[in-house]
């Protein structure tokens, strides 16, 4: 049995994932925006890579698995790039989202009030 597939290997990976979970939970408690973003997204990407590489055996599989994964990610980003201009806008030719406009306006007013010391 290879060292990469033995129980000790998986226990080490699990321990690292648990440690990263603790960091991602404790990080936002400091209420520092950059630290929160790094712990929320950066550690999530690292944990996702570790799970895919070790538990899905992407490190040891043929390159075809990597090509399929890369193709799926490219298509996902293309889909996002194609749909985001319409989804993120509040109005366009012959359509509008009045409910979204109201939510945005309320959020902006609330944000302005908080900067002025009002709640």
pLDDT in tens, 62-103: 788 878 889 999 999 999 999 888 778 878 888 888 888 888
Mean of pLDDT values over 2-12: 79
The pTM for the full model equals 0.53
Which tokens in the block code for residue 5?
Answer: 């597939």
Query: What pLDDT score was predicted for residue 111?
Result: 73
DSSP letter string, 54-87: IIS-TTTS-HHHHHHHHHHHHHHHHHHHHHHHHH
* pLDDT for 52 beyond 90: no
Place of tokens 């055996």: 57
Strands of the chain, DSSP E? 91-92, 95-96
pLDDT band at 12 (very low <50, low <70, confident <90, very high): very high
């Amino acid at each position: 049995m290879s060292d990469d597939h033995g129980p000790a290997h998986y226990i080490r990976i699990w321990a690292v994932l648990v440690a990263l979970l603790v960091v991602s939970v404790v990080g936002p408690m400091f209420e520092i925006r950059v630290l929160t973003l790094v712990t929320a997204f950066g550690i999530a990407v690292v944990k996702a890579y570790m799970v895919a590489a070790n538990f899905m055996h992407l490190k040891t599989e043929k390159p075809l698995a990597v090509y399929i994964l890369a193709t799926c990610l490219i298509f996902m980003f293309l889909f996002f790039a194609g749909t985001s201009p319409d989804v993120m806008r509040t109005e366009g030719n012959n359509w509008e989202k009045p409910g979204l406009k109201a939510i945005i306006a309320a959020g902006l007013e609330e944000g302005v009030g908080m900067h002025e010391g009002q709640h």
